[in-house]
Amino acid sequence: MGYPTDQDFEAAHERPAPPNYGKLAWKQCTKIPKIITLCGSSRFVDIMAVQAWELERDEGAIVMGLHLLPYWYVSPNGGLPTDHLAEHEDVAEQMDELHLRKINLAEEIFVINVEGYVGNSTQREIAYAMATRKKVRFLDETAGNQMLEKRSHIIAQQIAVFMSGRIPDVD
């Protein structure tokens, strides 16, 4: 069985195939995409959704991060807060741990640092990524580098804790 052709795609989907579909299918079969974990405040989950799309579209990466829930989602604890849903549903600790596991799976993290904002949880995730030798990128690269320089002593302490096999608390 060969790789799908443009004609196969059109027949299956009854719409024109995207340009170079055959080449895309071959590329997807021969190269394992890199995995990127998005990190940042849940208040920026809408920006994370757009960034995830752009990284998947432009870099062919698999992107993991927070989930943008629809307006109709109702939390078991009532309502839908605009951010910090994990705290609202009393699962913050489990979600923080799960996010570190996502970083384990990834080759790099991409920090959504809108207007330079990096909270304590995100700082901890950056330290974890560095401790596990992951590449760290920022939406705002200049602000990200300034933050790393300004908080270098705190991040270094967190890295040391991670390297010792423990997980530092979020302040």
Helices and strands, number each (H, E), in the chain? 8, 4
| Helix, coil or strand: residue 16 | coil
Q: Distance between CA 139 and CA 103 in Å, rounded?
A: 17
pLDDT of residue 26: 47
pLDDT of residue 168: 67
Question: Which residue carries 């998005």 as its tokens?
Answer: 38
Residue by residue, pLDDT tens for the chain (171 residues) are: 455 555 554 555 454 545 555 555 545 555 789 999 999 998 899 999 999 999 999 999 999 998 877 767 766 767 666 666 777 778 888 988 999 999 999 999 999 999 999 999 999 999 999 999 999 999 999 999 999 999 999 999 999 998 888 776 665
Question: Which residue carries 């991670």 as its tokens?
Answer: 162
Contact between 99 and 125 (Cβ < 8 Å) = yes
Structural domain boundaries in the chain: 1-31, 32-163
pLDDT of residue 15: 46
The CATH architecture to which 32-163 belongs is 3-Layer(aba) Sandwich (3.40)
pLDDT of residue 55: 96
